[in-house]
A and B are shown apart, each in its own frame.
Chain A
Amino acid sequence: MKADPRGVLTGAHYMDGDHACCEGAIAAGCRFVAGYPITPSTEVVERIAQRFPRVGDGVFIQMEDEIASSIAIQGAVWGGKKAMTVTSGPGFSLMMEHIGLAAIVEAPCVFVDVQRGGPSTGLPTLPGQADMMQARWGSHGDYEIIAVCPNSPQESFDLTFLAFNLAEKYRVPVMVMLDECVGHMHERVVIPPAEQLDVVERKWTDQKPGQYKPYEVTDKSMVPAMCKAGDGYRIHITGLTHDERGYPVMNWQAQEKLIHRIVNKIRLNADEITRFEETDVEDKQGNVADVVVVAYGITSRVAMRGIELARAKGVKVGLHRPTVIWPFPEKRIRQLAQKAKAIVVVEMNYGQMYYEVERLAAGKCQTRLLGHGGGTVHDPQTICDAIVEVSR
Chain B
Amino acid sequence: MSDDAAKSLTRDVFATKPATATNPVDPYLRMDRMPSIWCGGCGIGTTVNCFTRALTECGLDLDKVAIVSGIGCTGRVAGYLNLDSFHTTHGRPIPFATGLKLANPELKVVVYSGDGDLFAIGGNHFIHAARRNIDLVVICVNNHTYGMTGGQVTPTTPEPAIASTTPYGAFEFPFNLPYLADSCGAVYVARWTTYHVRQIARSMKEALSKRGFSFIEVISPCPTLYARRNKLGDGLDAMKYYQEKSVIKHGAATSEVGIGFQGEIVCGKFIDRERETWIEAYDRRHEVALGAKFTPYPTGLVDAKKE
Size bin of chain B's contact surface? 35 or more
Determine if A68 and B125 form an interchain contact, defined as CB atoms under 8 angstroms apart.
yes
Q: Is A234 touching B84 in the complex (CB atoms < 8 A)?
A: yes
B79 and A68 contact, CB distance less than 8 A: no
Encode contact with B along A73-106: 1 for CB under 8 Å, 0 otherwise. Answer: 1111111110100000000000001100100000
Residues of B within 8 A of A240 (CB): 87
B78: which A residues are within 8 A, CB to CB? Answer: 236, 238
Given the known interface contacts A57-B295, A239-B88, the answer about A75 and B63 at a Cβ–Cβ threshold of 8 Å is no
The answer to whether residues A230 and B96 also contact, given A236-B79, A248-B79 and a CB cut-off of 8 A, is no
Name the contact of B107 in the complex, choosing from A59, A229, A237 (C-beta under 8 A). A229
Given known pairs A71-B89, A75-B98, A233-B84, the reply for A53 and B286 (CB within 8 Å) is yes
User: Which A residues from 225 to 250 make CB contacts under 8 A with B?
Assistant: 228-240, 247-248
* A residues near B64, Cβ cutoff 8 Å: 230
Is B226 part of the contact surface with A, judged by Cβ < 8 Å? no
> Are A83 and B103 in contact (CB-based, < 8 A)?
yes
Quick check: is A32 within 8 A (CB to CB) of the other chain? yes
Question: With A247-B33, A247-B79 known to touch, is A101 a contact of B103 (CB < 8 Å)?
Answer: no
Closest to A239 in B: B89
B106 at interface (Cβ–Cβ under 8 A)? Answer: yes
Number of interface residues of A (CB under 8 A): 45
Interfacial chain A residues near B102, Cβ < 8 Å:
32, 59, 61, 72, 75-76, 79
| Chain A residues, CB < 8 A from B100 | 75-76, 78-79, 229
Query: Across the two chains, which residue of chain B brings its CB closest to A63?
Result: B95
Within 8 A of A (CB), among B219-257: none
* CB pair B87 A239 closer than 8 Å: yes
A61 CA to B278 CA in the complex, in Å? 10
- Is B196's CB within 8 Å of the partner chain A? no
Query: Least Cβ distance of B81 to chain A in Å?
Result: 9
| Known interface pairs A234-B82, A236-B85; A32-B99 also in contact (CB < 8 Å) | yes
Q: Are B103 and A81 in contact (CB under 8 A)?
A: yes
Contact: A236 with B87, CB < 8 Å? yes
Chain B residues contacting A247 (CB-CB under 8 Å) are 30, 32-33, 79
**Cα A231 to Cα B125 with chains together (Å):** 27
Is residue A65 contacting chain B, with contact meaning CB distance below 8 A? yes
Q: Does B104 contact A (CB under 8 A)?
A: yes
Q: Which of A53, A65, A68, A75 touches B103 (beta carbons < 8 Å)?
A: A75
Give B289's nearest chain A residue, CB to CB: A53
- Show 10 residue pairs from A and B whose CB-CB distance is below 8 angstroms, ordered by the A residue: A59-B282, A59-B297, A72-B95, A78-B84, A79-B101, A80-B103, A98-B89, A228-B104, A248-B79, A248-B87
Of all A-B residue pairs in the complex, the 5 with the closest CB atoms, nearest first, are: A79-B103, A75-B99, A72-B99, A75-B100, A79-B104
Q: Which residue numbers of A lie inside 8 Å of B, CB to CB? A: 31-32, 34, 53-54, 56-57, 59, 61, 63-65, 67-69, 71-81, 83, 97-98, 101, 228-240, 247-248
